[in-house]
Amino acid sequence: MLEKIKSLSQCKVLIVDDEHASRILLESVLEPHVVCDTASSGREAIRKCRLEVPDLVLLDMNMPDKNGLEVCQALRVSPETANIPIIFITATMDIQVENACWEVGASDFVMKPINASTLTHRIKTHLENKTRFEYLQSMIYHDQLTGLYNRTYLAKETPQTLKQVARDKGSVGVILVDIDFFKPFNDNYGHLEGDICLQRVAEIIENTVRRPKDVVIRFGGEEFLVVLPYSDWDGAKVVSQNIVKAVYDANILHQYGAEGRVTISAGYAANDALDIISSSLSGVIKEADIALFDAKDNGKNRACGFTKR
């Protein structure tokens, strides 16, 4: 769902320095303003960033296991951590070092000895820019009624996910969902109640699809699309059945619907990510759409899978 812009006090900064005294000093400067976490080595920093992505990394240049340049480079190549602002802390800054930092993706520099006021203001500036950008991005990529992702997100961001799954030689499942008898719902209860119904169904689907990389998209009108990275046909089947059951069990009143309640129909399909990339995502969505037609044709309130005829 749509999120409000994050406040500075909610932002998490990861301080990476192999010297204990330096970590304590930096924490004491920043803790009144942001949430702080620390790492004592480059490897620990990379591990922590992958487990829980921070809003900013404050990175010492010289460390024994992996230096700052290597850490920055590792974070930039991973899609999950590629956009974290990274501020280097360094005692020496000649042209070669500065250029090397820019080349691996540095966002800024702070020189030792640390000036507390300068450090705080630079971090505030980067965090404010990041949170504003994320909020604007959420407005672009989210449906304003339901808060789900929209078709712009599907077109712009999903291809990156497909490439990642393809590199891992995995498959992707898709589910196309349609609310049964939605026109009679709008005609009899009004469009305001129809909007509330859409919001409720969207919430149920999103709560049922629980894996972090799974994405729920408002596809259009009363249709929703679920993209399931690293899921095969059987996995898509289970999720589809769970969604259909969850909406049925919510018992949303619909006098002109099946059994007096709102129900949905779902069609699912799956394919290798490499095949989806080569033939386009629209191909597997079309297969799910064919299966959705079968679900509608066979009585609604059910999930059907695509099988080649």
Structure tokens at 57: 């990394």
Distance from CA of residue 251 to its chain's centroid?
Answer: 29
Give me the pLDDT at residue 3, please: 58
Query: Do 122 and 87 form a contact (C-beta atoms < 8 A)?
Result: yes
Residue 105 falls in which region: left (phi positive, over 0), alpha (psi -120 to 50) or beta: left
CATH 3.30.70.270 in the chain is located at 151-305
> How does DSSP assign 190-222, residue by residue?
-HHHHHHHHHHHHHHHHHH--STT-EEEEEETT
d(CA 138, CA 149): 8
Of the chain, the end-to-end C-alpha distance in Å amounts to 38
Structure tokens at 255: 């006098």
- The answer on pLDDT for 134 being more than 90 is no
d(CA 224, CA 218): 5
- Reported as a single tens digit per residue, the pLDDT across 71-121 is 999 999 988 899 999 999 988 767 888 888 899 999 998 988 889 999 999
- Reported as a single tens digit per residue, the pLDDT across 166-215 is 999 999 999 999 999 999 999 999 999 999 999 999 999 999 998 989 99
The correct CATH number of 8-139 out of 3.40.50.720, 3.60.21.10, 1.10.357.140, 3.40.50.2300 is: 3.40.50.2300
Q: Does domain 151-305 match CATH 3.30.70.270?
A: yes
Q: Would you name the residues annotated as active-site residues?
A: 222
C-alpha closest to that of 288 among 162, 205, 175: 175
- The answer on pLDDT for 2 being more than 60 is no
> How does DSSP assign 94-128, residue by residue?
-HHHHHHHHHHT--EEEESSP-HHHHHHHHHHHHH
